[in-house]
Amino acid sequence: MRLALFLALALQTAPADDKAADDAIEAFKTAYKSSSEADRAALVEELAKVIHPKTLAGLGSILATDGPTVRIAAAKGLGTFTDHAKAASAALAAAFPGNGREEAVQVALLQAIGKLGDPGSLPFLHKTFDEKDPAVAKAAIQSAAEMKHSSSIDPLIALLEKLEKAAKATGAGSVTYTAPSGGPIVTAGVDALAKKRVEELLPATLKALQDLTQQKLTNSADFKAWWNRNKATFKPATK
């Protein structure tokens, strides 16, 4: 049955018509009964090659119903549905809360949203900057930067300012980071629980701002001053 699925999918080209999508989904459902999570993930990867609203819906349902490897495969697959970017982004964002205990899945969801590039998903990404898990927040930051939209500049500056304050806060431990583009090396005391978040997010936020604005500034005050001068006329570089 798995071979039949692969043969069916090999005949498809994206975007698929209704019959091609129906045939692929039926073959997928039969082959999906495999007991191996790795096999199911491979089947999901193949199904994602058939670009159609019906396969989009099928992949979206998998984001919350199977093992982490399969969910990640579905997220990555949906990240290729650029012809249906709005619907695919909505499906990915809707699956985010239900994967709260699956860091790798949440990261894959955010990365796929970034690849789709739908501006309507930016408010969700900006909100996710505040996630406590550094890897998840970092993925949101990087995806927002990848989309190269000016509406991300204010949230990124605000985040950078908060991270700078956290780095300066007194507490157990310390954090050392080097600003992108060869900026200064900074060591500051932070609360032990916040140390990892600052270590990972501060340089990631700086890089996101530098990439988005094409400015080699290294702190929130300078970015804020630059943005106040240039907000009215700024146009991000295209992807």
Average pLDDT across the chain, whole number: 87
Q: Which helix (H) or strand (E) holds 178?
A: strand 174-178
Residue located via tokens 């927040």: 137
If one counts every other C-beta atom within 10 angstroms of the C-beta of residue 207, the result is 16
pLDDT at 5: 54
What 102-105 contacts at long range (C-beta under 8 Å, 24+ apart), as own/partner pairs, is 102/68, 102/71, 103/133, 103/135, 103/136, 104/68, 104/72, 105/63, 105/68, 105/71, 105/72, 105/75
If one counts every other C-beta atom within 10 angstroms of the C-beta of residue 31, the result is 21
pTM of the predicted protein model: 0.86
Please compute the mean of the pLDDT values over residues 149-158 and round it to a whole number: 97
Please compute the mean of the pLDDT values over residues 203-215 and round it to a whole number: 96
Helix (H, G, I), strand (E, B) or coil at 218: coil
pLDDT at 195: 80
Q: Does residue 181 surpass a pLDDT of 70? A: no
Encoded amino acid at 187, one letter = T
pLDDT at 7: 44
What is the Cα–Cα distance from 144 to 150, expressed in whole angstroms? 10
pLDDT interval class at 34 (50, 70, 90)? confident
Please compute the mean of the pLDDT values over residues 74-100 and round it to a whole number: 97
pLDDT at 177: 52
